[in-house]
């Protein structure tokens, strides 16, 4: 999503052509895809090991495309375990590297910043606390603000969305955002659905599942339950959130989107046991959810790994549905998060910074 928006803005400034790895949104933005991001979209250690042959094939294809086509610039977006290796290869090919959306080296394996200093010509970061980190490390850095600031809004009024999806606005709506990758869906959705089953026994609720537009139908249908009436809505995450009274959200960008819409949330996440074992020894931040890191305190409850049980999710969600005090306190915290994400226009500022390097 970020790469697609950035390419559109940069094309308007420079007339540049683009090729790379991505998905449907990048293709729609006119980027020639030499690789599909779904082939490498996994989270965790054991998950990556299983997909390593596919990941290596994609990596080599991109390097070969860069060698043959000699681009004026490479823009790498997040995805550090892949992109930091790619940055080294591109540097050897004489291709300058801009990194947009900083890897979270401030959270774990901070030693990687030394490698970035050698291979990255410009770091463009989206969170305010990242700028000082990179500047101290000697990496050329520019803070542009968060690309979603000013961009996250529903496409239609709540009443219109409710009519379209047969929602009764007299009854509370709970949004489910289990993640966009197949591995995230597999790890997060079953416990989310069990929490919905528990909540359904306490109150008459309506459940909406916001699904990524390119998520395979089979990946969802294999996990959905007949005893939990969940309506799946594709490609309309902001409308789903705007219609909700609270949300159960997989940690990641979705928590920022939920914060920007001011929707009270419970943040959840689960990875494989092997990944969790390593993460506990590597991660060096006090919170897991981005909204809590930005706020500098626990704004939203985090239920991660063993703490992510259906019963605990149901308790936290029910508190948000029934306690005005809990909702008000969270919304005040989310307002702080919104102010710290910077003013609208981050993509344009990033495009202008990159254009100056061409």
SS (H, E, C) 216-277: CHHHHHCCCCCCCCEEEEECCHHHHHHHCCEEEEECCHHHHHHHHCCCCEEEEECCCHHHHH
Most confident stretch, 23-37, 104-118, 284-298: 23-37
Most confident stretch, 8-22, 51-65, 174-188, 288-302: 8-22
Could you give the count of Cα atoms lying within 13 Å of 45 in the half-sphere of its Cβ?
Answer: 10
Q: What is the pLDDT of residue 221?
A: 83
Judged by average pLDDT, the poorest of 20-29, 56-65, 219-228, 300-309 is: 219-228
The reply to whether 166 and 307 lie within a common domain is yes
d(CA 354, CA 358): 7
CATH of the domain at 319: 3.40.50.2000
Cα 334 off chain centre by: 17
Q: How many helices (H) and strands (E) does the chain have?
A: 16, 12
Q: What is the pLDDT of residue 46?
A: 62
The reply to whether 272 and 351 lie within a common domain is no
318, pLDDT greater than 90: yes
User: What is the overall mean pLDDT for the chain?
Assistant: 91
- How many CB atoms within 10 Å of residue 201? 7
The pLDDT tens digits of the residues spanning 273-284 come to 777 777 776 677
- SS3 of the chain: helix, strand, coil, percent, to 5: 50, 15, 35
122, pLDDT greater than 80: yes
The reply to whether 15 and 133 lie within a common domain is yes
**Segment 88-103 mean pLDDT:** 95
The domain of 48 spans 2-149+343-355
d(CA 66, CA 122): 19
The reply to whether 313 and 173 lie within a common domain is yes
Give me the number of domains the chain comprises: 2
47, pLDDT greater than 70: no
Give me the torsion for CA of 26, 31, 34, 38, rounded to 10°.
Answer: 0
72, pLDDT greater than 80: yes
5, pLDDT greater than 80: yes
The reply to whether 192 and 327 lie within a common domain is yes
44, pLDDT greater than 70: no
- The answer to whether 6 touches 29, Cβ cutoff 8 Å, is no
Q: pLDDT confidence of 248, banded at 50, 70, 90?
A: very high
The reply to whether 138 and 255 lie within a common domain is no
Question: To 5 degrees, how large is the angle CA 134–CA 10–CA 92?
Answer: 55
313, pLDDT greater than 90: yes
Three-state DSSP at 14 gives: helix
């Amino acid at each position: 999503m970020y790469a697609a928006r950035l390419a559109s803005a940069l094309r308007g400034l420079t007339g540049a052509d683009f090729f790379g790895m991505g998905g449907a949104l990048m293709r729609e933005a006119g980027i020639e895809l030499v690789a599909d991001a779904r082939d490498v979209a996994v989270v965790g250690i054991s998950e990556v090991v299983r997909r390593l042959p596919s990941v290596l094939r994609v990596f080599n294809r991109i390097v070969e495309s860069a060698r043959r086509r000699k681009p004026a610039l490479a823009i790498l977006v997040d995805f550090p375990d892949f992109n930091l290796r790619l940055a080294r290869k591109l540097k050897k090919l004489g291709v300058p590297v801009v990194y947009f959306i900083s890897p979270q080296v401030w959270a774990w394996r901070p030693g990687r910043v030394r490698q970035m200093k050698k291979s990255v010509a410009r770091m463009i970061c989206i969170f305010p606390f990242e700028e000082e980190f990179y500047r101290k490390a000697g990496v050329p850095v520019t803070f542009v603000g968060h690309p979603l600031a000013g961009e996250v809004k529903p496409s239609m009024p709540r009443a219109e969305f409710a009519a379209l999806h047969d929602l009764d606005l007299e009854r509370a709506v709970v949004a489910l955002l289990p993640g966009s990758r197949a591995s995230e869906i597999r790890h997060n959705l079953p416990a989310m659905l069990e929490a919905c089953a528990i909540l359904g026994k306490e109150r008459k609720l309506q459940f909406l599942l916001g699904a990524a537009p390119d998520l395979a139908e089979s990946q969802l249908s294999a996990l959905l339950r007949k005893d939990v009436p969940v309506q799946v809505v594709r490609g309309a995450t902001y409308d789903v959130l705007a219609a909700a009274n609270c949300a159960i959200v997989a940690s990641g960008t979705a928590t920022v989107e939920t914060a920007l819409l001011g929707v009270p949330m419970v943040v959840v996440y689960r990875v494989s046991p092997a990944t969790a074992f390593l993460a506990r020894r590597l991660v060096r931040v006090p919170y897991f959810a981005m909204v809590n890191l930005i706020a500098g305190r626990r704004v939203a409850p985090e239920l991660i790994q063993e703490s992510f049980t259906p019963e605990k999710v149901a308790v936290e969600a029910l508190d948000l549905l029934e306690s005005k005090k809990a909702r008000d306190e969270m919304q005040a915290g989310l307002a702080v998060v919104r102010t710290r994400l910077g003013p609208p226009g981050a993509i344009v500022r990033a495009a202008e910074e990159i254009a100056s390097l061409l």
